[in-house]
Chains A and B, each alone.
Chain A
């Protein structure tokens, strides 16, 4: 038996973009256990419901996270629409779908960059982020914000995209697709990249369920679950296959996410073809009373929203369970038995978004 020691890991660490702390129990170079703690940037956004009314909370919900901001706002609006019995116009549903998929594109490209940075491939990191930049420009052109869009409202969306803008976006995405294919083929084929990813951080399908993993983490273990198939927004009109992989390791998670990049481009194309010409929002009156459970598929996995209203303008409870929180138990599972040098990489493969987790 080797030397046992406990290494504090984080909250400040070069590879971590956000603060999470792990106590790693090591035996020589091998990790035996990992105990996470979070809350370094806890903001208590959930309890802001007692100070901000339910319309203002849309903007608070959007600011839960910087990367999947749009979907947080959308999930919150969907929950209130369910409580208040509002039917969203079809065009708004399609616009939401397009923005969702663009968010997924930019989030996955960001993650690929971080992963490349995690194993020290700086130029690949720059290339991924160069591609992502064009999507941010598209966001700015269509919504006015690069990261936080503020286009959601209860009952629809606030801004419309004219037909020529949509056509221009599809043209840009078609051009980008070729470039993305070149860049992602390096992740899939390069020998050095593969040596860092293959057979590292294995989590089997059953373990993933037992540990409550969500999103690409779960789909990389061969489990075919994608909340988009529940058919919220316009997804029930869109034809797409859930991307899974049976390899269960870090390489599989990379593969699933790369697959989803191309799938997102395809979904946007379908949306632009099918988008109907209707109003973009409906007037909502009255106060919410009741409760709703909403699950949406974010780039990182399934996010859960529970809203409970009591008939006044202040909500009783707004609960967000972000995908990263659900993936932390799976992360501790993958860390058990790995090499110390692989820890940063394994933390990155769950696509951590710690600020999300801390609401």
Chain B
């Protein structure tokens, strides 16, 4: 159509086509499998080593070895995935589903049932007793 009203075609098309958007709150959004939504922990595998706490760029993760808890402030987390990469036991993962907004920041805490192994000096004691 050249210079004369080249947008007309698009306008007519718009009139008879479906909307490009979805009815969001009523039709839930489907996330692809790789979406980095939030960090999840498999607490049975965690050994409370603290690698995730030390590597987290915004400092959102806290690991308490004495109280045996692992906690994350999801509002500080930037979903970079560096903790997942660093975790020696591969117990962290990033899964779809974003943190919902809230009136104030809070930390999400998990109690880890990890029992630290007995100190390595133990087997040496019976040897000494001999």
Q: Which residues of A contact B (CB under 8 A)?
A: 52, 55-56, 59-60, 62-63, 123-124, 127, 130, 133, 137, 140-145, 148, 150, 153, 158-159, 182-183, 185-186, 189-191, 194
Contact = CB atoms under 8 A, between A and B. Distances in A.
Contacts of B35: 140, 144-145
B55 A124 contact: no
B78 interface: yes
B34 interface: yes
B35 to A, nearest CB: 5
B57 interface: yes
B60 interface: no
A190 B10 CA distance: 13
A284 B2 CA distance: 56
Nearest to A53: B55
A145 B9 contact: no
Nearest to A151: B81
B7 interface: yes
A56 B7 CA distance: 48
A73 B20 CA distance: 32
Contacts of B82: 55-56, 59, 150
B43 interface: no
A189 B5 CA distance: 9
A183 B79 CA distance: 35
Given A56-B57, A158-B85, A182-B9, A190 B3 contact: yes
Nearest to B20: A130
Contacts of A133: 20
A59 B58 CA distance: 10
Nearest to A192: B7
A150 B36 contact: yes
B110 to A, nearest CB: 22
Contact of B34 (A148, A159, A182, A185): A159
Interface in B61-87: 78-82, 85
Interface string B1-39: 011101101110010000010000000000110111000
Enumerate the 4 nearest inter-chain pairs by beta-carbon distance, A residue then B residue, closest first: A144-B36, A144-B34, A141-B32, A59-B80
A153 B84 CA distance: 13
A193 to B, nearest CB: 9
A141 to B, nearest CB: 4
A155 B2 CA distance: 50
A190 B7 contact: yes
A186 B7 contact: yes
B80 A140 contact: no
Contact of B81 (A130, A158, A185): A158
Given A127-B10, A185-B6, A190-B7, A63 B32 contact: no
Given A130-B20, A153-B85, 6 more contacts: A56-B57, A140-B35, A144-B94, A150-B36, A150-B79, A150-B82
A140 B10 contact: no
B90 to A, nearest CB: 14
7 contacts: A62-B80, A123-B7, A140-B32, A148-B80, A150-B80, A182-B10, A183-B10
Contact of A191 (B3, B20, B31): B3
B30 to A, nearest CB: 11
Contacts of B78: 59, 63, 148
A124 B34 contact: no
A194 B6 CA distance: 12
A143 B34 contact: yes
A74 B14 CA distance: 39
B9 A52 contact: no
Contacts of B55: 55-56
B31 A140 contact: yes
Nearest to B13: A182
Contacts of B80: 59, 62, 148, 150
Contact of A59 (B3, B6, B57): B57
B6 A190 contact: yes
Nearest to B96: A144
A65 to B, nearest CB: 15
A181 to B, nearest CB: 12
Given A56-B55, A127-B10, A145 B36 contact: yes
B32 A189 contact: no
B23 to A, nearest CB: 16
A142 B10 contact: no
Contacts of B31: 140
Contacts of A182: 9-10
